[in-house]
Amino acid sequence: MNLHRLILLIAVVTLSGCIPYPHTSDRFPGMQGHVIDATTGQPISGVIVAVPDHPSTTAKTDKSGFFCISKRRNYHFGVTVGICGSDWPEGSNWSDLIDVSRIGYVPLKIDASGLIIPSYDYDKPYELHDISLTPQTR
Protein backbone atom coordinates (compact mmCIF):
# COMPACT_ATOMS: atom_id res chain seq x y z
CA MET A 1 0.00 0.00 0.00
CA ASN A 2 2.85 2.45 0.80
CA LEU A 3 4.38 1.77 -2.62
CA HIS A 4 1.12 2.87 -4.28
CA ARG A 5 1.11 6.11 -2.29
CA LEU A 6 4.74 6.81 -3.23
CA ILE A 7 4.01 6.20 -6.90
CA LEU A 8 0.93 8.45 -6.69
CA LEU A 9 2.96 11.22 -5.00
CA ILE A 10 5.70 11.01 -7.64
CA ALA A 11 3.08 11.11 -10.41
CA VAL A 12 1.34 14.18 -8.93
CA VAL A 13 4.62 16.06 -8.44
CA THR A 14 5.80 15.16 -11.94
CA LEU A 15 2.55 16.14 -13.65
CA SER A 16 2.25 19.43 -11.76
CA GLY A 17 5.69 20.51 -12.96
CA CYS A 18 7.01 20.93 -9.42
CA ILE A 19 10.33 19.21 -9.94
CA PRO A 20 13.24 21.05 -8.31
CA TYR A 21 16.71 21.02 -9.90
CA PRO A 22 19.87 23.07 -9.27
CA HIS A 23 20.75 25.77 -11.79
CA THR A 24 22.11 29.31 -12.20
CA SER A 25 20.77 32.63 -13.48
CA ASP A 26 22.59 35.79 -14.52
CA ARG A 27 23.22 38.39 -11.83
CA PHE A 28 25.61 40.62 -13.82
CA PRO A 29 26.56 40.10 -17.48
CA GLY A 30 30.26 40.95 -17.17
CA MET A 31 31.91 43.80 -19.05
CA GLN A 32 35.22 44.55 -20.67
CA GLY A 33 36.63 47.42 -22.64
CA HIS A 34 39.23 50.16 -22.95
CA VAL A 35 39.42 53.56 -21.26
CA ILE A 36 41.07 56.42 -23.11
CA ASP A 37 41.85 60.08 -22.48
CA ALA A 38 39.18 62.20 -24.20
CA THR A 39 41.69 64.84 -25.33
CA THR A 40 44.67 62.73 -26.43
CA GLY A 41 43.00 59.42 -27.33
CA GLN A 42 45.72 57.61 -25.38
CA PRO A 43 44.88 54.66 -23.07
CA ILE A 44 44.71 55.43 -19.34
CA SER A 45 46.12 52.95 -16.84
CA GLY A 46 44.99 52.71 -13.23
CA VAL A 47 41.35 53.61 -13.89
CA ILE A 48 38.93 52.02 -11.41
CA VAL A 49 35.84 50.48 -13.00
CA ALA A 50 33.25 49.53 -10.35
CA VAL A 51 29.77 48.07 -10.15
CA PRO A 52 27.70 50.39 -7.89
CA ASP A 53 25.27 47.58 -6.97
CA HIS A 54 28.17 45.58 -5.53
CA PRO A 55 31.01 47.87 -4.34
CA SER A 56 33.55 45.06 -3.94
CA THR A 57 33.26 44.18 -7.64
CA THR A 58 35.89 46.33 -9.34
CA ALA A 59 38.57 46.19 -11.99
CA LYS A 60 41.60 48.37 -12.71
CA THR A 61 42.78 49.18 -16.22
CA ASP A 62 46.18 47.93 -17.32
CA LYS A 63 48.77 49.95 -19.26
CA SER A 64 46.74 49.53 -22.47
CA GLY A 65 43.61 50.90 -20.73
CA PHE A 66 41.93 47.46 -20.75
CA PHE A 67 39.65 46.22 -17.97
CA CYS A 68 37.47 43.14 -17.48
CA ILE A 69 34.77 42.44 -14.89
CA SER A 70 33.67 38.81 -14.89
CA LYS A 71 30.12 37.62 -15.25
CA ARG A 72 28.37 36.97 -11.94
CA ARG A 73 25.68 34.36 -11.40
CA ASN A 74 22.99 33.52 -8.86
CA TYR A 75 23.13 29.90 -7.74
CA HIS A 76 19.81 28.20 -7.07
CA PHE A 77 19.32 24.88 -5.31
CA GLY A 78 16.10 24.34 -7.14
CA VAL A 79 13.50 25.69 -9.47
CA THR A 80 9.97 24.60 -9.85
CA VAL A 81 7.80 25.27 -12.83
CA GLY A 82 4.07 25.05 -13.22
CA ILE A 83 1.68 25.99 -10.44
CA CYS A 84 4.43 26.34 -7.84
CA GLY A 85 7.05 27.99 -10.06
CA SER A 86 9.91 29.91 -8.42
CA ASP A 87 13.69 29.88 -7.90
CA TRP A 88 15.08 28.98 -4.52
CA PRO A 89 16.90 30.90 -3.19
CA GLU A 90 15.60 33.72 -5.35
CA GLY A 91 18.89 35.61 -5.88
CA SER A 92 19.31 39.18 -7.08
CA ASN A 93 20.17 41.03 -10.27
CA TRP A 94 22.59 43.94 -10.51
CA SER A 95 21.97 46.81 -12.85
CA ASP A 96 24.15 47.31 -15.93
CA LEU A 97 25.65 50.50 -14.46
CA ILE A 98 29.38 50.95 -13.97
CA ASP A 99 31.37 53.79 -12.43
CA VAL A 100 34.62 54.78 -14.16
CA SER A 101 37.04 57.00 -12.23
CA ARG A 102 40.66 58.04 -11.82
CA ILE A 103 42.31 60.91 -10.00
CA GLY A 104 42.72 63.83 -12.38
CA TYR A 105 39.68 62.89 -14.50
CA VAL A 106 35.97 63.65 -14.34
CA PRO A 107 34.21 60.50 -13.03
CA LEU A 108 31.83 58.81 -15.44
CA LYS A 109 28.75 56.63 -14.91
CA ILE A 110 27.83 54.32 -17.81
CA ASP A 111 24.57 52.44 -18.35
CA ALA A 112 25.51 49.48 -20.53
CA SER A 113 21.92 48.24 -20.89
CA GLY A 114 21.54 50.35 -24.03
CA LEU A 115 24.66 48.82 -25.56
CA ILE A 116 23.29 45.30 -25.99
CA ILE A 117 23.42 44.07 -29.57
CA PRO A 118 20.42 41.88 -30.61
CA SER A 119 22.68 38.96 -31.62
CA TYR A 120 24.67 39.28 -28.39
CA ASP A 121 26.36 36.12 -27.07
CA TYR A 122 25.31 36.04 -23.40
CA ASP A 123 28.24 33.84 -22.44
CA LYS A 124 30.68 36.66 -23.24
CA PRO A 125 31.10 39.96 -21.35
CA TYR A 126 29.63 43.13 -22.82
CA GLU A 127 32.25 44.80 -25.02
CA LEU A 128 32.56 48.53 -24.23
CA HIS A 129 34.78 50.30 -26.76
CA ASP A 130 36.78 53.45 -26.03
CA ILE A 131 35.30 54.82 -22.84
CA SER A 132 36.52 58.43 -22.83
CA LEU A 133 37.46 60.14 -19.58
CA THR A 134 37.79 63.93 -19.62
CA PRO A 135 40.73 65.45 -17.72
CA GLN A 136 39.72 67.75 -14.88
CA THR A 137 40.56 71.40 -15.31
CA ARG A 138 41.89 73.34 -12.36
State the CATH number of the domain containing residue 30. 2.60.40.1120
What is the tens place of the pLDDT at every residue in 93-129?
Answer: 667 788 999 999 999 998 877 655 545 566 677 787 7
Domain membership of residue 29 (yes or no) is yes
Q: Which of 36-40, 55-59, 118-122 has the lowest mean pLDDT?
A: 118-122
The count of other CB atoms within 10 Å of the CB of residue 35 is 26
Domain membership of residue 85 (yes or no) is yes
Domain membership of residue 138 (yes or no) is no
Q: What is the C-alpha to C-alpha distance for residues 26 and 80, in angstroms, rounded to an integer?
A: 18
Domain membership of residue 7 (yes or no) is no
Residues of the domain holding 94: 21-133
For the chain, give percent helix, strand, coil, nearest 5. Answer: 15, 40, 45
pTM metric for this prediction: 0.68
Domain membership of residue 76 (yes or no) is yes
Domain membership of residue 5 (yes or no) is no
